[in-house]
Amino acid sequence: WAQKALQASQWAEALKDLDAAEGKSGLTAFDKKTIYYFKGFANIKLGKLKEAQAAFEQSLATGAASAEDKTSITRTLFGIAASTNQFQKTIEYGKTMADAGTATPNDLAIIAQSYYQLKDCKNSGVWVDKAVSASRKAGEAPKENLYLFKLQCASDAGDTPAMAASLNDLIRLTNKS
């Protein structure tokens, strides 16, 4: 029933059916993983990100997700965490993606920004450098805001040499004095 409701974009109905399915006895870890995954998907469609996040976390916790599913679910959780300003969770999911080699240059920039939001300039700088390096490796121009994080951190610390280095990087990137 839930599958028909999902296919018909009847998200609330699908969630009711998934709740009923979850209550059945004899469910395997794979069954539970699938139920939680679909609950997460339906909740996203309903704009209920907190519920979606909980469901996707439960899906991963079953241990039944394939490597491909883990990658996809982790990316979804990263996106939810980043969009809801859960900086620590954004960092955790982002590091998982970085360790797996699935993080994009933009993902690395989001990790740097999350550290910056947590006032952790040391780690923000480390991830800024990773994001800049990944951008260059991908043939993309690094994002200007990455250098602004470094500049602000250097300014907050009263570190004039680091401020000068960040400004030089910004000038090179933007061709603006």
User: Model confidence over 87-142: pLDDT tens digits?
Assistant: 999 999 999 999 999 999 999 999 999 999 999 999 999 999 999 999 999 999 99
Nearest CA-CA partner of 109 in 85, 83, 91:
91
pTM value? 0.90
Q: What pLDDT, in 10s, does the model give residues 112-127?
A: 999 999 999 999 999 9
Q: Distance between CA 27 and CA 133 in Å, rounded?
A: 46
Which residue, among 104, 109, 143, has the nearest Cα to 126 in the 3D structure?
A: 109
